[in-house]
Chains A and B, each alone.
Chain A
């Protein structure tokens, strides 16, 4: 039960790091016993958020851990960057809204893919996104 409970950190500075982040989260999710569907959902959310950290935040870091709350186990990933932040988080969460050339579904999609989603941001002070998926 102790495996993966300590926090691991990974810098997000290149596309390779996005792949690394996905792999790390997938192995943790398997270890924690998430179902295949939930594993895939979490890994996809992580992929979106890691790419956001890289593209919009100018790079940052990801911290992952396997928290235990009220008898449940889960996997939590926290993405932090010190990029420009967002003036209007609600707008950023709207499907189809993008400042880059993507589909504009990443952030809102990540919220729908995760069980718990938290977005902390302000213009000029970076962005922190937390996603958690619990074992059912």
Chain B
């Protein structure tokens, strides 16, 4: 701390002497902002650690209002940790910041008990408004970014589920990655539409690219197959690798009378056979 900064020194003294009380009041003010998503004990520990780190920074930093000063290193690390955990718990940036801003009210009450200095109070109101202004721009910014990410995710969803025509009357969907409800919906819609558009009677769903088949994936697959059947098409599930087969058996999932094959080639051969195409004969020579 720079020499001769008497007011700064007094503030550090006050923050040090009344740390217990100030942290307690801070936690009290911050509790409503977490709306039960975080326990009070957890919050207390978090804010208590942050308080100490901030106090250390204010005491040692060359410029006590410069968060990028080395003395605030610990505080920055804690803040990063808190922000990450809040984001994971579904807090908005607004909620996270408001909980931290609460310390201002608490410290002002300690500096100016009873609110004798009306100018302080008026300034605090104005400062709250400025905080909100800053947060508003920040939230708009993050929301815009999230929109971009969501749009991209949706595009990817479309991209990742092509329905290809393999043969006259045979369409296939190669599935890659995670098969969640949203994905299944897209797959089902595209597959059923492709059946209509191409007049196909056989559909092959290839799961070679699906890393794990759990009950949810299986349920989605079964629903898709039933929907295709209702439209008069026969579905084959292919790409069942050995480890997937063993997992499905252990889980106890019944595929019933749905035809399953190890590879896409097997599935295609099966589909062609049942449409009456001769596949086992050696390829005929090109002469007429």
- Among B88, B178, B247, contact of A44 (Cβ-Cβ < 8 Å): B247
Given A37-B242, A112-B252; A48-B211 close (CB under 8 Å): no
Please name the residue on chain A nearest to B246 by beta carbon: A37
- Would you call A44 and B89 a contact (CB within 8 A)? no
CB nearest neighbor in A for B177:
A19
What class of interface size applies to chain A in its complex with B? 20 to 34
Q: Could you give, for residues 46-57 of chain A, a 1 whenever the CB lies within 8 Å of some chain B CB and a 0 otherwise?
A: 011001000000
> Using an 8 Å CB-CB cutoff, how does the interface string of B247-288 with A read, 1 for contact, 0 for none?
100111100000000000000000000000000000000000
State whether B88 touches A102 (Cβ < 8 A).
no
Q: How far is the CA of A109 from the CA of B215 in the complex (A)?
A: 9
Q: Among A26, A40, A51, A95, point to the contact of B216 (Cβ < 8 A).
A: A51
Given A44-B247, A109-B251, is A103 in contact with B215 using a C-beta cutoff of 8 Å? yes
B113 at the interface (CB under 8 A from A): no
In whole angstroms, what is the CA distance A47 to B88 when docked?
19
Which residue of the partner chain, among B180, B212, B214, B242, contacts A106 with CB atoms under 8 Å?
Answer: B214
| Other-chain contact of B252, A36, A37, A108 (Cβ < 8 Å) | A108
Q: Looking at B90, B178, B242, which has the most chain A CB atoms within 10 Å of its CB?
A: B178
- Per DSSP, are chain B's interface residues mostly helix, strand or loop, or mixed? helix
The verdict on A113 contacting chain B, using a C-beta distance below 8 Å, is yes
Is there an interface contact between B212 and A112, defined as CB atoms closer than 8 Å?
no
As a 0/1 sequence over residues 206 to 228 of chain B, the CB contacts with chain A under 8 angstroms (1 = contact) are 00000111111011000000000
B-side interface size class: 20 to 34
Query: Given the complex, which residues of A lie within 8 Å of B214, measured CB to CB?
Result: 44, 47-48, 51, 106
Bound: A22/B250 CA distance, A: 18
Asked if A11 CB lies within 8 Å of chain B CBs, one says yes
Are A40 and B215 closer than 8 Å at their CB atoms? no
Q: Which residues of A contact B250 (CB under 8 A)?
A: 41, 109, 112-113
Contacts of A37 in B (CB 8 A): 242-243, 246-247
Distance A102 CA – B252 CA, assembled complex (angstroms): 13
Residue from A15, A44, A109 within 8 A of B212 (CB atoms): A44
Query: Shortest distance in angstroms between B24's beta carbon and chain A's nearest beta carbon?
Result: 25
Counting CB contacts under 8 A, is A131 at the interface? no
Most buried by B among A41, A51, A103: A103
A86 proximity list for chain B (CB < 8 A): none
Knowing A102-B216, A102-B219, A109-B215, say if A95 contacts B247 (CB, 8 Å): no
Partner of A103, one of B178, B180, B218: B218
Report which A residues bind B (CB closer than 8 A): 11, 13-15, 19, 22, 26, 36-37, 39-41, 43-44, 47-48, 51, 95, 102-103, 105-106, 108-109, 112-113
30 A-B pairs whose Cβ atoms sit less than 8 Å apart in the complex: A14-B90, A19-B178, A36-B243, A37-B243, A37-B246, A37-B247, A40-B211, A40-B212, A40-B243, A41-B243, A41-B246, A44-B251, A47-B212, A47-B214, A47-B216, A48-B214, A48-B215, A48-B251, A51-B216, A95-B252, A103-B218, A103-B219, A105-B215, A109-B215, A109-B250, A109-B251, A109-B253, A112-B251, A113-B250, A113-B251
